[in-house]
Structure 1
Amino acid sequence: MIVVWSITIIVFLLIGSIVGGRLRSRYRHQRERLRTLNERLEVYRNYNKLAVVRREEAHEMLGKLRRQLAEEEEDLRRLAAQPKEPDPEAAISYHVFDRIAGRRGTVWHVAVEASEKAAAWTGVRHYAVTGETAEEARKRVQDRHPAMSGFTVGKAVPLDLAAETPAAKPG
């Protein structure tokens, strides 16, 4: 009977040794995995700290930008509220497509605005044109710059070349 008990004890010791080895191996694996997860957690904590710092910096920058925007809007309102005075030094260049000297009639100022991309130029040009009436002067300019080509011809106003006159707006 002692032999049976001895064999049983040896079998149990072998089984215990095998199971213990497996449990120790599993414990080492779980401990290594826990160490790796703790390292990851530390990295994520550092990312979180960095994100908090960046968020605070962004809030500070946003506050500065909002203050600058408010200042710029105030400047814009102030400038918009100021009356606009024409610059007395600004000279108007006139385009002429025929001789003014020697023609009969009054010299007229006609503004032409190129309003479409089809026109060869953009913006407003000022023309000095002679004619008996304002309509005749306007028609002469309109013949050169028709509306279907993207031009808007303004009203003809008498032009005194010796004195400055305000430009007539197209339309």
Structure 2
Amino acid sequence: MVEVHDKLREHYRRRQCKALAGLDDKAAKRVAAAGTTPDVLADMPESLWDAETVGVIYDEVEGLNFYRDFGRLDALFADPALAGDRTYLAVLRGYLRDDSVSALPIRRLAERHRDGVDPVFRKLLGKPGFCWERDGEDLLRRRKKEFFDRASTPGISVVGARLAELLRGGR
């Protein structure tokens, strides 16, 4: 998790430098004085801190999200032979059952590992004819019904220093 924290801090630092480069000197000084890089991990659940891997996905609709043991799922879809190991399938099963996890991480993995998605779900579901292209969306709609029944909202929204200042009541 320390690695995630460092990578996010570096990402925000680069974004801030890029944003400041486009401002005049006076505006750049005002923004720089408004605050430091946000610590988006300050309120993260304890369960993420002891995870072997944490996936960080930013989505334009759902915002910034963190996923426990995402590296294990990435490895599973990259190498479907790992579906013979119940611990890998248990993580995927957990993602499908967990009401707090949207369809986003599974969709991203399916996009990233097109050759692995069918064999993994065939093994998980015990359905030799499963085809992600044909059956994937229906599976997600059944397993993640609550996410399809409401409009998506960001789990975490990243705001700039100036907006944060305004939200705190500063001028």
What interval of TM-score do these two structures reach, taking the shorter chain for normalisation?
Answer: under 0.3
Give TM-score, length-normalised by structure 2: 0.19
Greater relative contact order (CA < 8 Å, ≥ 6 in sequence): 2
Q: Which structure has greater strand proportion? A: 1
Q: Which structure has greater helix proportion? A: 2
Q: Which has the larger radius of gyration?
A: 1
Give TM-score, length-normalised by structure 1: 0.19
